[in-house]
């Protein structure tokens, strides 16, 4: 059975390597940078300047509005402290102009463990003796219902693998939307009444980066699991 052992080993390694190649190619194309996003949505970079100008305008409008309320020009309305308001407004106008560099820094920090996961090598497969595996498989296949269940499980695994790839792409697109609408979120931080929107945006950005990393980790685990199953389906 030495030849059959070699065939099983070769097929198992090729399947695992093919899955790893697909996973690494897809996730490597996405990554934690916006190069692929801009390749498919080039208008995002063009419209980014519009968002910056709009965000600065919103901060200035809020600043004037709050000052009007402070000086009693609008009676019966609670207003923010003018000194704190002015400091926050100036601070966030500066952050709006540099929010692209801030988001790039966050993405580069999140991209470090992401790249580590993608570049990690899969473990060496440990193959079971073909005789023992073959005899057990033949006895299992003899029962048609068990074989049908095994086929259904295999299809479910394949479908979930495809779903994970699409989920990674979906999260990447959502991350791009969050990054390129960042100026509006920063504008919300200039006012105490809308600062919770800015806090939610920060949590969304961190959450999407973390979920991208977890997607890469799960796909790597899935690839190694498939290789381990093919090399020793009965864990003998």
pLDDT value at residue 192: 82
Task: Please check whether residue 125 lies inside any domain of the structure.
Answer: yes
| Host domain of residue 11 | 2-231
Stated pTM of the model: 0.73
**pLDDT band with cut points at 50, 70 and 90 for residue 10:** low
Kindly give the residue spans of alpha helices, DSSP state H, lying in 75-194: 82-97, 99-119, 130-141, 144-180, 182-188
Q: Are 82 and 63 in contact (CB under 8 A)?
A: no
Task: Please check whether residue 209 lies inside any domain of the structure.
Answer: yes
DSSP three-state, residue 22? helix
Average pLDDT over residues 144-159: 62
Work out how many domains the chain is built from and give that number. Answer: 1
Task: Please check whether residue 236 lies inside any domain of the structure.
Answer: no
d(CA 121, CA 31): 18
Task: Please check whether residue 90 lies inside any domain of the structure.
Answer: yes
Is the pLDDT at 125 greater than 60? The verdict is: no
Q: Poorest-confidence range of 20-24, 112-116, 215-219?
A: 20-24
């Amino acid at each position: 059975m030495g030849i059959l052992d070699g065939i099983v080993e070769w097929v198992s390694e090729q399947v695992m390597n093919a899955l790893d190649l697909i996973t690494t190619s897809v996730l490597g194309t996405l990554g934690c940078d916006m190069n692929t996003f801009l390749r498919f949505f080039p208008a995002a970079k063009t419209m980014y300047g519009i968002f910056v100008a709009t965000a600065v305008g919103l901060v200035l409008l809020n600043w004037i509005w709050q000052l009007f309320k402070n000086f009693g020009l609008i009676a019966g309305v609670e207003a923010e402290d003018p000194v704190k308001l002015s400091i926050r407004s100036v601070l966030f106008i500066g952050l709006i102009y540099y929010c692209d560099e801030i988001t790039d820094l966050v993405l580069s920090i999140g991209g470090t463990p992401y790249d580590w996961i993608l570049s990690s090598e899969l473990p060496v497969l440990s193959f079971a003796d073909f005789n023992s595996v073959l005899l057990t498989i033949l006895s299992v296949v003899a029962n048609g219902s068990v074989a049908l269940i095994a086929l259904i499980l295999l299809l479910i695994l394949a479908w979930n693998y495809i779903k994970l790839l699409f989920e990674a792409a979906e999260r990447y697109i959502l991350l791009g939307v969050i990054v390129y609408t960042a100026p509006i979120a920063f504008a919300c931080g200039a006012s105490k009444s809308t600062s919770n929107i800015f806090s939610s945006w920060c949590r969304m950005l961190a959450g999407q980066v973390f979920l991208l990393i977890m997607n890469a980790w799960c796909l790597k685990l899935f690839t190694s699991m498939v290789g381990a199953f093919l090399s020793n389906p009965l864990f003998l």
